[in-house]
Amino acid sequence: MNFAVESGVKSMGSGVEMRKNQTLICAPLMADSVDQVVVLMHTAKLKGADIVEIRLDHLKSFNGRADIEKLIRECPLPTLFTYRPIWEGGQYDGDENSRFNALRLAMELGADHIDIELKAAHEFNNFIRGNKPEKCKVIVSSHNYDNTPSAEDLGNLVARIQAAGADIVKFATTALDITDVVRVFQIMVHSQIPIIAMVMGERGLISRILCPKFGGYLTFGTLEPGKVSAPGQPTIDELVNIFNLRLIDTDTRVFGIIGKPVSHSKSPKLYNAAFKAAGFNGVYVHLLVDDVPKFFETYSSTDFSGFSITIPHKEVALALCDEVDPTAKAIGAVNCVIRRPTDGHLFGCNTDYIGAISAIEDGLLGSHHGPTGAGSPLAGKLFVVIGAGGAGKALAYGAKRKGAKVVIANRTYDRARELAEIVGGQALSLAELGDFHPESGMILANTTSIGMQPKVEETPVPKEALRHYKLVFDAVYTPKITRLLREAEEMGAKIVTGVEMFIGQAYEQYERFTGLPAPKQLFKDIVN
């Protein structure tokens, strides 16, 4: 049975909207009292959940039949009752007979689903003596908080769960590496009965977002950030409004940002809104990747179509591409990798310098957008780059191409000298920068993390030195206005924020990902 694809309009908790799959969004409800759970049920419906999981093991007091009757009567959505024992990661530490009795009552009183652990399923089946209402679907579940077993072991686990009388198979494993998730997708795709398969932890996040693509029965979404029933659960709001879960189907192309760390990235918000607005069948996800070669080798399907690359993987990713744009090769780093649909080959390019240089040119030109026929406003200007890493290389190279005279300043002078030799410029140590002003009207570009949250009081250049600059750019975009930019403005310089660079490089990537023109105003509205 394929639970992945169904086009049409469905009535959702949050109103009527387009829906391309039958994967349910389940809100786990955990509270001290039944009255609190009832309040949460209505919140879940408002937020767009399709079903609620009532976690009986979290209740501080529980009065069997009366409480279950109330929970079922008051619930505006279909129900799933779970009474998870401590030995399977839950809160219940009483005797099994009481637990089984509560689940049996839930079945008899009209629950839509109940969840019983594989380890207890045989005993529970004996307890109910086969008396199962037709309406109630039994989920038999298994949770592994240590790792994700081999594909063979997962296949055997699913067979055991089915043999235990499951109407719906459920298993959750733990991701030690993002490549673990592939084995779970393979099991989901081939399952003959409804299946819930999650990989816990940040490295397993894509299992929760992409499950409609691979035929998952449901995915869990929390009511608010942090209040999770298992590690790595996103919120309902994120699933519906950032990742557009309702629009994912078997043909959806997957894009994402590869980095470590990566959860802070605003890219999914940007690209998914643009995909939805354009009617483009794609989803853009966070990809916490430890080992880039292993990632590309494992996710080799052309369904995984394109990637933004961020710290610390830009240089490694370049080496793995089958073909690299000459500019990216000269910079020595890629921030965008496209998988060609015809042969699966990886093509790498660098849009960092385009985003930053365009933003700086626009800043210099004021209200004019883009260079005029007279060439770049950077031509002949002294352009000081702070930092000699991937972003520093990209900006130095971009400025040089526009005709600027490039100076590299870095904490370690040797790194500055190496990059200056490559691009044909001058090198300084960061300490020397405060006294460096051979001419006025210079351009300054910080490409380091100095001044980034949480160290917002740091700045790479003394305030007094900023009077010699016409324009100051900072690649840091958290916060949007860094101390460097604030002080530069106070000294009379034009400023360009890292947000402009972020948007600029995203335009180019979006067009490479989709073949469509970038929705520039939409990007600006989302980020600003």
Active site amino acids: 143, 170, 314, 352
Taking the C-alpha atoms of 122, 123, 126 and 127 in order, what is their torsion angle to the nearest 10 degrees?
A: -140
The closest alpha carbon to 292, from 422, 435, 179, 196, belongs to: 179
Contacts of residue 71, Cβ cutoff 8 Å, sequence gap at least 6: 34, 37, 38, 54, 79
Q: How far is CA 237 from CA 14, 242, 415, 508, in A?
A: 11, 7, 45, 28
3-state helix, strand, coil in the chain (%, to 5): 40, 20, 35
Distance CA 243, CA 246 (A): 9
How far, in Å, CA of 423 to CA of 398, rounded? 10
Q: Alpha carbon 281 to chain centroid distance?
A: 17
Q: What are phi and psi of 343, to 5 degrees?
A: -130, 0
Structure letter (DSSP) for residue 312: T
Instruction: Look up residue 373 and give its two tokens.
Output: 């026929």
Bond preceding residue 312 cis, omega within 30 of 0: yes
Question: Phi then psi for 392, rounded to 5 degrees?
Answer: -60, -45
What are the angstrom distances between the C-alpha of 158 and each of 58, 68, 218, 432? 28, 30, 16, 64
Distance CA 358, CA 370 (A): 7
Contact 314, 286 (CB under 8 A): no
Instruction: Confirm if 118 and 160 have CB atoms less than 8 A apart.
Output: yes
Burial of 89 per CB tally in 10 Å (0-12, 13-18, 19+): middle
Count of beta carbons in the 10 Å neighbourhood of residue 264: 10
Q: Where does 289-404 show beta strands of DSSP type E?
A: 304-309, 323-324, 336-339, 346-349, 382-386
Contact 92/62 with Cβ under 8 angstroms?
A: no
The C-alpha atoms of residue 22 and residue 5 are separated, in whole angstroms, by 7
